Structure 1
């Protein structure tokens, strides 16, 4: 497992009223959502980064207006609707 560290001034955590663990959780979720939104890695890997079950990660994506459905064209979307 790779470990990545970033330095955040204590004042920022104080301003946010968060402790290190809360901010770490937030950072992992934000990174995971960005990677998923930009189609860098799969939903499963992103859920792992966020340290959440896939179902919870999908809910998090929805709360942040990130869809798990991706269509390359309107025709592809229409075809998917017809096949549903």
Structure 2
């Protein structure tokens, strides 16, 4: 795993866990990492990551509307 060092302003009131969740959640929503990889970034289990995601405004479903509509049409045989 790569190591990333960030320099944040002292005025930014953020804990390491919150910063990791925000970073991992964004990467997951953008499809850059899997759910398991996002959980690893934070250092928690996939289950815990899924349970916490909503508190940070992330959805476990990273499907686009177009993908969802396509899958519904295929499932309905259209």
Normalised by the length of structure 1, the TM-score is: 0.67
Whichever of the two has the greater Rg, that structure is: 1
Greater length-normalized contact order (CA 8 Å, ≥ 6 residues apart): 2
Name which of 43, 46, 49 aligns with 1:51.
Answer: 43
User: CA 1:8/1:24 → structure 2, altered by over 3 Å: closer, same or farther?
Assistant: same
| RMSD, matched Cα | 2.3
Normalised by the length of structure 2, the TM-score is: 0.71
User: CA 1:53/1:32 → structure 2, altered by over 3 Å: closer, same or farther?
Assistant: same
Q: Which runs of 5+ in 2 are unaligned?
A: none
- 1:66 — aligned with what? 59
